[in-house]
Structures are given as C-alpha cells and as structure tokens.
Structure 1
C-alpha cells in the first residue's frame, strides 16, 4: 500500500494541467501510458485502466492508471488503481481485465517478479492476481497470486503467463 500512496501523491503533485492535454483522447495526468486494459462498465460508468509509469515518460515498473467516462468522449482521471507493492508483483502490475460481480469491481492482473531458479539464475515470473474495489479504491486479495505459472505444463514459459481476459469467472466459481 505504501507504493500506491506514493504513486497517488506523486500524480497529485506533478499532474499536467488539463488544458494542455488532448481533449478527445485518453492521456495520463503525468508520466507514461502503455497498454489499455480492464475496459469495463461499473456503476453506470465506463472504466478504463492502463499500464502506467507515473514517475517518468518512459517504460518503468508498471502501475494501473485509471480513468472513467459517462459518454466515451470526456474522461476523468481517477487515482492510481494498482501499484507494485507486494512480493508477487514487485516488478510490476501488468495487463489484465476488469468485471463487475455482486456490486464490486474485480481487477485481475499479471503480477511480475524475479526469482532465483533451481540453476541459480534469475528468472522473470508472471502470475495472475486479483484486486477488489468500489470503482476508485482497490485492495489486493490476501490469496494472491490466485493462479501461478506452476500450473503450466513442462516446457511452457512462466515469463509469458500474462494478460488474462475474463479469467475471473472460473476463479470466483461463476457459470
């Protein structure tokens, strides 16, 4: 949570004036925007999340930026939704999806970390993680990661176990 607060504070202090940003195109308040993810409807608004590095204008540890719209034209910045602040996402919170279920907004994302393998080499590991929120604030679940690369058959890369789409339904036991 400390990294999330740090990111939110940084964005608040360094955001670019809205009159200098594109009017009809999603842009970050400050920093670097990459892949969009988690486009979803929740509580009557369309939410768009995106890969985000608030501290620089180039790629860095991925956060999830967050904007919302009622008309798909005017977008409003919301606080950073996810920051890499746990052992399972220490290298970044990569792409994923968002869905509404029973009045809550669920984000499933790729947590990225580095670890030493059995040969003593450092490898990148990507696992699937879950956060639950109210449309503004999101809390990572205590059972993260909810799906790990350990489930992959031999020969499959744990480094490319990412970008889940609608994977949340089996996790929640939905039909």
Structure 2
C-alpha cells in the first residue's frame, strides 16, 4: 500500500509542476503578445483584427544574423532558439480572453475575439475592402526565457501580406523589443 501511495504522490507532484510550468509559459507568451501589441502595433495601426492561429516559424541563425545585424547575441542563445523552434508545439491559438484584457477601444481592436481562417474569408467576402489582420506567431524562447523571437504578419487583402520579425530581450523583468528585422511583403 505504501508503494501505491508514493506512486500517487509522485504522479500528482509531476502533474502539478508540469501544469505550473505550462501556465508560466503561457503567462510569458501573453507578456510578449502585449509587448508587441502596445509597443509596436498600436503605435503604427488602428482598426485591426487579430488572427487566432499561433503560427510556428522556424528560426534560422544565419538569416537572423544577416537580417538583424545583431552579431553580439551569444551562440548558445541562437542555438537554443533554433532548437526550440523545431520543438515548438503547433496548432495553438491566442485566447479571446487575452484580447479582452488588452482593453483597447474599437478604434484600435475592431473585435474582442480573434479570427480563425473561416472568419477571415468571411470578413473579406462581406466587406470587399482592405482590412488589417495581424497574425502573431508563437514566441520562440531560449532555454532561460530571456530572449525571444516572434513573427508578425499583416494580411490586408487575400494575396496581399507583409510582415517582419522581432527579437526581444527581458530587461529588469520587462520584455523589450531589441530589433525588428526580416521585412517582407507579397
């Protein structure tokens, strides 16, 4: 009986710490999301929507160094970003409750829920004009959660997409955008 109780205790402790770890990661991802929204997007755009999907974009060290010009980033951080981008959980979405927390007026955020692919198609069919729909990727972190790469795309109309990447660093407990890089459009 004692062995069975020990197994239960170990199981519940493992479950507790894995859930706690997951919620800490979600909290950090939400901090990154808010940093991107408030420090960049709200300053440059109004009247936008947010796509639900957290796309996972592979991190390529050589592209990062060439595009960003940030040559002083430690090699181990770049290695960890690449490794963690390969191991990132796919098929995740931004939560609607996170959008509600942003407390942005309708002049900025047009809808307090994120849009899935069907919503996006329907929006373009209904409005028949340009929109601003941000796709914000899943943040990719180094192992110590002190550096992060995130990708933002802007869908204006089907076939008209642009975007860029952001490198962030945690400074005195706050996430700071260090560099925007890798600008592209189609």
TM-score, scaled to structure 1:
0.31
More helix by share: 2
- Asked which structure has the greater RCO (Cα within 8 Å, sep 6+), the reply is 2
Higher Rg: 2
More strand by share: 1
